[in-house]
Amino acid sequence: MPDTENGQLRSQASEHGGAGHRERLRERLLKGGAEALADYEVLEYLLFAAFRQGDTKPIAKVLIKRFGSLSAVLNADPGALAEVKGMGKTSAAALKAVALAARRMTRNEVEDKPVLGSWQALLDYLTVDMAHLTVERVRVLYLNTQNRLIQDHHVGDGSIDEAAIHPREVIRRGLDLGATALILVHNHPSGNPEPSRADIQITNRIAEAGRLLGITVHDHVIVGRQGHISLRAKGLI
């Protein structure tokens, strides 16, 4: 059912979701700091774009309860969002647009800058882009001699082992691109970013192949909802 046809939502407008409430929420957003709004209120405000009138607080709270957090809602599959009572394609698209904007903002902080000198920006970008994925995704960031990003290559989805990522193919692509260094990246859908034995083994195989052909493996970053791990920082490369 289209969002604008949600009769229950419209009927609640006079109780809480009228213009006065929206105006108060807008003022808190504009005048307050980063914590001016609770997570459900951020969602509530974002949903104003899809619902011209009515109380969006109940839907916002249901979304938080179902998906677990604000970031999980914004990173949820659009189909799953649209299935929530009161939601629809328009409201799901409004939330996905915010998630897309966040990815673009963090990516812009990484592009055209030396990656090693913008490490926190890189971690922010990877966290926004990968922390809430429900599948394990492998990427290789290829860098030039100035450590600027040449290509962010999506290798594939699945466990990071030699069945999914081939050291020779990783290095060969780097040679084709003229890369002199790379950073391996993948996520752990479990949320725990601690490296497995397979993570360490494949990293060392790629690093060894790179040494033979003049491509440095700067790091292997594992991203999860609970944070990130750098194999370089742990002394595993």
Q: Which residues contact 188 (CB under 8 A, 6 or more apart)?
A: 136, 194, 222, 223, 224
Q: What letter would DSSP give residue 48?
A: G
User: What pLDDT does 133 receive?
Assistant: 82
Say which CATH architecture domain 114-230 belongs to: 3-Layer(aba) Sandwich (3.40)
Percentage of the chain surpassing pLDDT 90? 32
Query: Could you read off the pLDDT of 54-87 as tens digits, one per residue?
Result: 788 889 999 999 988 888 888 888 888 888 888 8
pLDDT in tens, 3-62: 443 444 444 444 444 667 788 888 888 887 667 888 888 888 888 877 877 788 889 999
Query: Which of 197, 189, 195, 181 is CA-nearest to residue 224?
Result: 189
Q: What pLDDT is attached to residue 10? A: 43
Annotated domain spans of the chain: 3-105, 114-230
- Per-residue model confidence (pLDDT) at position 8: 46
Predicted TM-score of the model (pTM):
0.70
- Segment 78-99 shows an average pLDDT of 87
- 24, 48 contact by CB (below 8 A): no
| β-bridge mates for residue 103, sequence order | none
163: buried, middle or exposed (CB in 10 Å: 19+, 13-18, 0-12)? exposed
Mean pLDDT of 138-165: 83
Percent of the residues in the chain that have a pLDDT greater than 70, as a whole number: 88
> For residue 158, what pLDDT band results from cuts at 50, 70 and 90?
confident
